[in-house]
Amino acid sequence: VNGLFGTEVSAGWINKIAARLAGSLHGFEDDVKTALLAEPVTLADETPVTTIEDAPEADGQAGSDRAFRPHVFTLRSEHLVWLGAGHTRGHGALDLFGLFERYTGTLVSDDYNGYCKYQAILTARQLCNAHLIRSATGVVEAEPRRQAWATAMIEVLRAGRKAVSDAAGAGRDALNSQEIEKIRAAYREQAQIGITANYGRRTGKGDKHPAWILAQRFLDKIDMVLHHLTDFTVPWTSNLAEQALRHVKIHLKISGCFRSLITTRAYCRIHSYLITIRLNAVPPMQAIRDALAGHAWTPLRALTPA
pLDDT at 53: 84
To 10 degrees, the CA torsion angle through 48, 49, 54, 55?
60
**Taking every pair of C-alpha atoms in the chain, what is the biggest distance, in angstroms?**
67
pLDDT, residue 112, reads 95
- State the 10-residue block means of pLDDT for the chain, 306 residues long: 68 84 96 98 97 68 70 98 96 95 98 95 98 98 96 98 98 96 98 97 94 98 98 97 96 93 96 97 95 95 51
What pLDDT shows up at residue 61?
A: 53
From the centroid of its chain, how far is CA 263? 21
Please tell me the predicted confidence (pLDDT) of residue 306. Answer: 42
Q: Are 200 and 213 in contact (CB under 8 A)?
A: no
d(CA 188, CA 209): 20
Relative to beta strand 81-86, strand 71-76 is antiparallel
Query: 297: buried, middle or exposed (CB in 10 Å: 19+, 13-18, 0-12)?
Result: buried
pLDDT of residue 5: 62
Question: Helices then strands (H, E): number in the chain?
Answer: 13, 5
pTM of the model: 0.90
3-state secondary structure 141-205: HHCCCCCHHHHHHHHHHHHHHHHHHHHHHCCCCCCCHHHHHHHHHHHHHHHHHHHHHHCCCECCC
Check residue 57 and give its pLDDT: 58
Q: How far apart are CA 91 and CA 108, in angstroms?
A: 18
Say what the pLDDT of residue 302 is: 53
Measured CA to CA, the distance from residue 252 to residue 265 in angstroms comes to: 14
Give whole-number Cα distances, 278 to 93, 124, 138, in Å.
Answer: 28, 29, 36
